[in-house]
Amino acid sequence: MSAGSLTVTLALARGASYPAADHRIGLLLTDPQSGQPVGLDYTAETTTTDARGNIRAVTLSIPAGTSMPAQVQTYVIADVFPLYSRLLS
């Protein structure tokens, strides 16, 4: 498979702001059959801003050779950061 990318463009309501300095938008791709995430470096996303510094778009690079399912479920995630993880049994 050749390299590619996915870009999500955001539209703000008139008068609204969503400054990149205060927020983060993330993209997550999963296999809808298994629910497993596609193996990508999700921290390597590029954010584009408008003239006022608001998030305008987010692009996720997909390197050549990435194994992709036939269909991909795409999630757009705003301001979610894991703070702690622990395996419980």
| Whole-structure pTM value | 0.82
User: Position 27: which residue type?
Assistant: L
Above 80 in pLDDT, residue 67? yes
Q: What is the mean pLDDT of residues 18-29?
A: 93
Report the pLDDT value the prediction gives residue 87, as an integer from 0 to 100. 59
Q: Taking the alpha carbons of 63, 64, 68, 71 in that order, is the dihedral positive or negative? A: positive
pLDDT digits (tens, 9 = 90+) for 25-66: 999 999 999 999 999 999 889 999 999 999 999 999 999 999
Tokens of 4: 């590619």
Rounded to 5°, angle at Cα 77 from 23 and 45? 70
Q: Which of the 8 DSSP states describes residue 12?
A: P
Average pLDDT, the chain: 89
Mean pLDDT of 73-80: 88
